[in-house]
Amino acid sequence: MENKKMVAKPEGKLAVLIPGLGAVSTTLMAGVELARQGKGAPIGSLTQMGTARLGKRTDGRTVKLNELVPLATLNDVVFGAWDIINEDAYQVAQRSGVLNDKHMEQVKPFLQGIKPKKGVHDGEFVRRIEANHAKATKTHRESIEAIRQDIRDFKKELNAKRAVMVVCSSVETFRPLPEAFQSLANFEKALDANSTDVNPTALYTYAALKEGVPFANATPNASVDTPALQELARQEGMPVAGRDLKSGQTMMKTVIAPALKARMLGLEGWFSTNILGNRDGEVLDDPQAFKAKEVTKSSVLDTILQPDLYPELYNKYSHKVSIHYYPPRGDAKEGWDNIDITGWLGYPMQIKINFLCRDSILAAPLVLDIALFLDLARRLEWRGIQEWMSFYFKSPMAHPGLPVEHDLFIQLTKLKNTLRVVAGEEPITHLGLDYYGDDLPLAR
Ligand SMILES: NC(=O)c1ccc[n+]([C@@H]2O[C@H](COP(=O)([O-])OP(=O)(O)OC[C@H]3O[C@@H](n4cnc5c(N)ncnc54)[C@H](O)[C@@H]3O)[C@@H](O)[C@H]2O)c1
């Protein structure tokens, strides 16, 4: 293709900087190290295992995504983290109980070497955690300055040429988007006034963007998908992505709902419930924190099903989502979905899904991919919303005025086509008429 953009090669180390040294981030760190040692496969990661077909189906050209575009390799990835609890990554991983004893032993020295810097804490936003490792900063501006200094220190300590930030901290209590986030000017004023509307995640976001670090939000917290911080991302020329990883139940939802719509099957109701016993579940036990999750989990169905286009099928469905903190399960989340659907002549049918998953095992490879793709976007000098990364998020972003895309397979097509175009290859439409010559003539 003509429009190939030259992309700078990933030279040197890439620092993946993570506010929130919890179950997800330590599972990511351990997995990357195990994969480097050849003791574990990076299953679930498109950047490590995914491929793209190039050209026509008859060409027989399929390449790995990490050969199609220049991505940082696992050997070049180094980690830095912040947390409000003073535990190293090994202690956190041990407490989180995601990995088995053998894996824990194999990564022990590596994880012990990852110690968090002090986090920025606000007890109003995260209420279920006793912080013992929070910065002593008094104002938002001081906190931002301290995070920016940490970023510079991390880059030095880790000998990294480039950095990306992916927030993996606890879910913060939900608030309807305050005025402070409606524009960058408002946000700057709110920072100066030390406004209680500004959440810690937004401070990390602001600091990263100001420091020239691409940013993604793996949590449901208000961050880079607000007008104020999007404005900042464009101003600073930084690529951004978010919000909230699409790992388990919502991933299934964005597979099943498009299938129902594709077959023009109606929906009467969708009841989703989960039990979860890790610290994320404990934090989500706070109804105000759950509200943030509910918002990102609920937006999906309407956007996919388009009740305005198909009122007879999707006008009145009931959608319920709940998460229950149930300590015995730890990270082994169990989700149930009951889906009441209708078919020909309105006859009712049901689908039941019982997903026995592992929260952090599903989430870790997504964070890896997000980090590597953000770094690619930075080297392409792309800025602002990276819609092609919607694949990874429950509540993805699109340019203001554009409907977001939730369908997992459309998102995947978007992602792979973007990489094809970056590599100077043709995007693939799956049309396929041209294979049939005169049997299916295009023009008469
Ligand atoms: N696991 C999944 O499948 C999944 C899916 C979607 C989103 N997420 C989100 O990812 C995030 C991390 O999940 P987890 O299971 O690792 O949770 P976790 O509770 O194990 O880890 C979160 C960590 O963040 C720390 N923290 C809280 N506030 C902080 C702050 N201001 N600065 C620095 N650190 C802070 C906590 O002390 C904790 O160690 C959560 O927001 C969760 O909702 C997870």
DSSP 179: G
Phi and psi, residue 38, nearest 5°: 70, 25
Give yes or no for a contact between 271 and 338, defined as CB atoms under 8 angstroms apart: yes
Output the CA 170–ligand 1 centroid distance in Å: 4
Q: What confidence score (pLDDT) does residue 438 get?
A: 87
Give the fold, CATH level 3, of 249-356: Dihydrodipicolinate Reductase; domain 2 (3.30.360)
- CA-nearest of 79, 14, 13 to 373 is 14
What count of Cα atoms within 13 Å lies in the side-chain half-sphere of residue 295?
A: 19
Q: What does the pLDDT read at residue 434? A: 86
Buried b (16+ CB within 10 A) or exposed e, 339-370: bbbbeeeeeeeeeeeebebbbbbbbbbbbbbb
Sheet holding 266-276, edge to edge: 318-325, 266-276, 334-342, 348-356
How many other C-beta atoms are found inside a 10 Å radius of the C-beta of residue 15? 27
CB of 200 within 6 A of ligand 1: the answer is: yes
Whether residue 374 contacts residue 14, with contact meaning beta carbons closer than 8 Å, is answered with no
CB 368 within 8 A of CB 28: yes
Contact status, residue 252 vs residue 338, Cβ threshold 8 Å: no
313 Cβ below 6 A of ligand 1 = no
Q: How many angstroms separate the CA atoms of 221 and 20, rounded?
A: 13
Q: How far is the CA of 144 from the centre of ligand 1 (A)?
A: 20
| Rounded Cα distance, 444 and 232, in Å | 52
Distance between CA atoms of 101 and 362, rounded to whole angstroms?
A: 19
Q: Which of 91, 144, 170, 274 to mutate to test the pocket of ligand 1 (most atoms within 8 A of CB)?
A: 170
Angle formed by the axes of helices 227-236 and 200-210, to 10°? 20
pLDDT at 441 (0 to 100): 82
Atom in ligand 1 nearest the alpha carbon of residue 200? 31
CA angle 24-25-27, nearest 5°?
A: 65
Contact 186, 229 (CB under 8 A): no
Quote the CA–CA distance of 329 and 48 in Å, as a whole number.
Answer: 29
Task: Give the nearest ligand 1 atom to 169 CA.
Answer: 24
Residue nearest to atom 18 of ligand 1 (CA): 22
Angle at 104 between CA 102 and CA 109, to 5 degrees: 125
Q: Give me the pLDDT at residue 296, please.
A: 67
- Probe target for ligand 1 pocket from 92, 111, 168, 361, with the most ligand atoms within 8 Å of CB: 168
- 116 CB under 6 A from ligand 1? no
Question: How do the pLDDT tens digits run along the chain, 444 residues long?
Answer: 545 667 889 999 999 999 999 999 999 999 999 999 999 999 999 999 999 999 999 999 999 999 999 999 999 999 999 999 999 999 999 999 999 999 999 999 999 999 999 999 999 999 888 999 999 999 999 999 999 999 999 999 999 999 999 999 999 998 888 999 999 999 999 999 999 999 999 999 999 999 999 999 999 999 999 999 999 999 999 999 999 999 988 999 999 999 999 999 999 999 999 998 888 788 888 888 788 777 767 778 989 999 999 999 999 999 999 889 999 988 889 999 999 999 999 999 999 999 999 999 999 999 999 999 999 999 999 999 999 999 999 999 999 899 999 999 999 999 999 999 999 999 999 988 888 888 888 765
CA 391 to centroid of ligand 1, rounded, Å: 20
Residues 276, 324: contact at Cβ < 8 Å? yes
Amino acid at 94: Q
Q: How many other CB atoms sit within 10 Å of the CB of residue 189?
A: 13
Rounded Cα gap, residues 165 and 17, in angstroms: 5
- 403 Cβ partners below 8 Å, 6+ apart? 303
Centre of ligand 1 from the C-alpha of residue 218, in Å: 9
Is it true that 13-245+360-422 and 249-356 share their CATH fold? no
Token code pair at residue 331: 């990270």
Residue ranges covered by each domain of the chain: 13-245+360-422, 249-356
Whole-prediction pTM:
0.96
Distance between CA atoms of 220 and 290, rounded to whole angstroms?
Answer: 10
Question: Ligand 1 pocket, 277 CB below 6 A?
Answer: no
**Cβ(118)–Cβ(155) below 8 Å:** no
Q: Which residue has the tokens 């990933």?
A: 10
CB-ligand 1 contact for 219 (6 Å cutoff)? yes
Distance from Cα 289 to the centre of ligand 1, integer Å:
12
In terms of Cβ atoms closer than 10 Å to its own Cβ (0-12, 13-18, 19+), residue 2 is exposed
At the fourth CATH level, the homologous superfamily of domain 13-245+360-422 is NAD(P)-binding Rossmann-like Domain (3.40.50.720)
